[in-house]
Structure 1
Amino acid sequence: MPYDLLVIGDVNPDVVVGPVAGALAFGQREQLVEHGRLVLGGSAAIMACGAARLGLRVAFAGRVGDDPAGAFVRQALVARGVDTSHLVVDPQLPTPLTAIVTTADGDRAILTSPGCLAATGPEDVPAELLSSARHVHSASFFLMPRLARSLAELFAEARAHGASTSLDTNDDPAGRWDRALLNPVLKVTDVLLPNAAEARALSGEDQPADAAGALARLGPTVVVKDGARGALARAGTESVRVPALPVEPVDSVGAGDSFDAGFVAARLRGLDLRASLAVAVACGSLSTRAHGGTAAQPTWDEACAATEPKGT
């Protein structure tokens, strides 16, 4: 097939500033921070770049505005080897914009102006792309309600052409975590990739392992990103956990999306569940070595080397 991976979802510029000491000060007070960057953002876009960096042939489907922000993200995707020939330009609505404020302990606040995200829909995903990829990944499920309502159909069509599928819902800003909307998609999703907080919200379970088990019973292999504890996966009755790498993070923005890219790339190369999870943890960890979501994404050789025991 022409593509190893089709990524469907969000792309926008990120303005990342920080770290902020203490709480944000309102009342028109100006606070100085050490770093400020204009970088490529959007969970789907960062995942696509990470997969291309790992050697996959990647196409992107989504929507941007006819504005400088849209031109910026298109150029950034192309520079990282992602095919944007099917990226739709909205003639009326602007490109989404996100401001990320980081803290010294690795936490962050995320403010997003959705722009054309709500207008993104199934018509932005051409049928020829669904039939031309070995794997289809979608992200930011709750930010794009029109696309979310049609994603089960899109995934089913991709599967009919022999593709596997994966989903990273990311956060739900509304806090509803609509299972009636999500459950039909999970029935045609091969891999679900939440972080621990998202897994708890989606499942109603308190512990990540219990959450993974509950979600896996709905059909997909569930891979949970568990921060400093590494990650865990549940496929049927098989459970696997891999510890985090000892990396001193510079910026954790986009680490989960790089993790997603590593897991999908490993599975497409035929690695088993444990080995794929180890590669994913390596990709997520190594991506934190520089500011922004894409600057430090590893190559396949770098990710594999990071999974090898020291001294080998």
Structure 2
Amino acid sequence: MPRVICAGHVNWDITLRVDHLPVADGEAAIQHQTGAGGGSAANVAVALAGLGIPVSLLGSVGDDDHGRATRRELAQTGVDCDPVQTVTDGETAVKYLIVDGDGEVMVLGQTGVNEAFRSGHLADETLAAADVLHLTSQHPETAARLAERAREAGVLVSFDPGRRLGQRDYTATLALADVLFLNDREAAMALDDVTDHGAETVVLKHGPRGAEVRAGDETLTHPGFPVQTVDTTGAGDAFAAGFLASRVQGDDDDEALAVANACGALAARSPGARVDVSWTAVAELLGH
């Protein structure tokens, strides 16, 4: 069975559902509050596990209640947490997700120790046993070294830099990525450079307008699925998980794009960063 390693942030998310997103000096009413595990790498890992893909997670948490709760949640979903580092004198990263009635999200973050892990914390034998290394937003030097090691081991490199793309220099990792995920905002910043020097496969996420895959001279598109949006948190992570799960099982880009859009839609219609993704739910949206 193909195996994926996800590397990046492991957080604790506190989600505040509000009546509207406030403007500067404004105020909104909190309608509901929940706490659960989050972080882009962890979210992708959980979705992959839900799709039956063996997955390991490289990240770091604090030796605190949030870190222990996060580990328990991940282990219960079937994610291999052995590579996750526990920092004894640090705190688990906490993100405050403010979500309005239309599912739009505003994020406030306390970084904590979610970038305390380094490339060396991933054992050579764990990397060698994988088919894909999926990198998410993390320290640029760590991402680049992990990508280099994966290339040396013959492991496909997937990269979803996320909203920090404009704030950090990911040039080295972009040049080493085989598959790159970008949303519209990120593509506006990096697509030209990537097309000239980077990934063989670029997957562009257009939110409710679907997505496209650009591979060489070929472009494939999928319109997405019309769903009632509840919360867009983690939808991009579920999308990436769906694309990778489909690809490692031998599907072509066209099918992988459809599966990815289905997983993103399932996440968008559910509250929170984690969603119960399964092949049964995906098949219902695909009409299979």
Structure-1-length-normalised TM-score = 0.86
Identity %: 34
Q: Which 4+ residue blocks in structure 1 deviate beyond 4 angstroms?
A: 24-27
Task: Identify the residue that residue 197 of structure 1 maps to in structure 2.
Answer: 185
Verify the 8 A CA contact 2:8 2:115 in the aligned structure 1.
no
Structure 2 alignment gaps of length 5 or more: none
d(CA) in 1 for partners of 2:255, 2:270: 25
Q: What's the offset of the Cα at 1:40?
A: 1.4
CA positional deviation for 1:243: 0.5
Counterpart AA for 1:300: W
Query: What is the CA distance between 1:112 and its match in structure 2?
Result: 0.7
Coordinate RMSD, CA, aligned: 2.0
Among residues 31, 43, 46, which one is paired with 1:34 in the alignment? 31
Match of 1:171, SS state, is helix
Secondary structure in 2 aligned to 1:119? coil
Residues 86-125 of structure 1: per-residue CA shift (max 9 Å, x gap): 2111122211000011122332110111011343322322
Are 1:14 and 2:6 counterparts?
A: no
Q: 2 CA distance for matches of 1:228 and 1:252?
A: 10
Q: Distance in 2 between matches of 1:79 and 1:288?
A: 23
**Alpha-carbon distance, 1:36 to partner:** 1.6
Distance 2:115 2:80 in 1: 23
1:300 aligns with 2:288: no
Alpha-carbon spacing, 1:155–1:104, altered in 2? closer, same or farther (3 Å)? same
TM-score, normalised via structure 2 length: 0.92
Task: Determine if contact 2:119/2:145 at 8 Å carries over to the other structure.
Answer: no
Determine if the alignment matches structure 1 residue 277 to structure 2 residue 257: yes
What one-letter code is carried by the residue in structure 2 that aligns with 1:93?
Answer: G
Deviations along 1:3-32, one digit per CA (max 9) or x if unpaired, are 6111111111111111332516859x7x53
For 1:207, the equivalent position in structure 2 comes to none
On the 8 A contact 2:208/2:226 being kept in 1, the answer is: no
* Contact 2:9/2:41, CA 8 A, preserved across alignment: yes
Q: 2:194 aligns with which of 205, 215, 223?
A: 215
Q: Deviations over 1:137-183 (max 9, x none)?
A: 0111xxx32xx21433322322333321101101128x4342xxx22
Q: Does the residue aligned with 2:233 lie in a helix, a strand or coil?
A: coil
Report the alpha carbon displacement of residue 224 of structure 1 after superposing the two structures with TM.
1.1
Q: Give the match for residue 206 of structure 1.
A: none
